[in-house]
Structure 1
Amino acid sequence: MGKHGLGELEHQTMLALLRLKDEAYTAPIAEELETRTGRRTTTAAVYIVLRRLEDKGLVESVLQDPGDEGGRDRRYFQVTELGIEQLRQARQAYTSLWEGLDTVLAKG
C-alpha cells in the first residue's frame, strides 16, 4: 500500500473526491462522507485530512472565485495520479484480506 499507507478517513475522503468530481470542496465532501458511511464528519476535520493528503501529494487543490454566486473563494480538491495509485494499492490489499472471509462473516 505504498510507503505510508492511507488512514481510514484519508481513504474515504479520497473516494468522496472522486465521486464529487468538480464539486469537491469541504462542505460537500463532509456531506458525502456522512451519506456514504453514516458517520458525521465536520468540515474542519475534512479540511485537516485534505491538507494532510495534499502534503503527501495525494490530492491537489485550486482556489476559485465564486463568480456571480458571490461569497468567499472556495478551495476545490482533486485526487492526483499518485493518489489514484495509492487507492488502487489499498483496494488490492483490502480485496486480498477479505478473500475467503465471506462464510466467516456471514455467520451471525
Structure 2
Amino acid sequence: MKKSRLGEFQELILMAVIVLEQEAYGNEIQRELEERLNERLSMGAIQTALKRMEEKGLLTAEWGEATQKRGGKRKRIYSATPYAHQVLQEMKEIRARLWDAMPGMKPNHAQ
C-alpha cells in the first residue's frame, strides 16, 4: 500500500479523534482542537477533513444514539483505524528524524 501523508490539519484531527475515543464527533473534535490550538476552526473544514480521511481508510464512522439534548439528532462518531495509527507513528518518526537533523535544534544537556 502506498504510504499516506497527512497535512498538518488532518494529522491534528486524527490525533483528536484518538484522544476523544467514544466522544469523537464533529462538535467535540472542534472543541478539543480549538482549546488546544487556542484558535477558532471552521466546522466545514473539519467535516471535509473527516470525510477525506474516511475515504483514505484512516477513519471509520458509525451513528450514535439520538439524544434529547441534540433534538433527536444522532452523532456521527469517528474511530481511527489500525492503518491510521501506523500512519501517525510514521509521521512522528519522520518529524523526530528531521528535528534531530536540524543544526542547533538538538537539546543541550551539558549546560
Which interval holds the TM-score relative to the shorter structure? 0.7 to 0.9
Hey, what's the Cα distance between the residues in 1 that align with 2:95 and 2:49?
21
**Aligned residue for 2:27?**
27
Which residue type is aligned with residue 63 of structure 1?
W
Which residue number corresponds to residue 10 of structure 1? 10
Secondary structure in structure 2 of the residue aligned to 1:61: strand
TM-score of the two chains, using structure 2 as the length reference? 0.83
Q: Structure 1 length normalisation: TM-score?
A: 0.86
Structure number with the bigger relative contact order (C-alpha 8 A, sep ≥ 6) is 1
Q: Going by fraction, where is helix more abundant, 1 or 2?
A: 1
Question: 1:3, CA displacement in angstroms?
Answer: 2.4
Q: Count residues with an aligned counterpart.
A: 105
- Aligned-pair Cα RMSD in Å: 2.0
Gap runs ≥5 in structure 2: none
> Identity over aligned residues, as a percent?
28
Summarize the alignment of residues 1-108 of structure 1 with structure 2, pairs less than 5 Å apart: 3-67=3-67, 69=69, 70-101=71-102, 103-104=104-105
**CA offsets per residue over residues 20-68 of structure 1, 9 Å max, x none?**
1110000110111111122321211111000000000001100122245
Matches of 1:79 and 1:18, distance apart in 2: 6
Per the alignment, do residues 72 and 102 of structure 1 end up closer, same or farther by CA in structure 2, a change over 3 Å counting? farther
> 2 CA distance for matches of 1:75 and 1:104?
41
Are the structure 2 counterparts of residues 81 and 38 from structure 1 closer, same or farther at C-alpha, using a change threshold of 3 Å? same
Unmatched 5+ residue regions in structure 1? none
Q: Return the alpha-carbon distance in structure 2 between the equivalents of residues 77 and 85 of structure 1.
A: 17
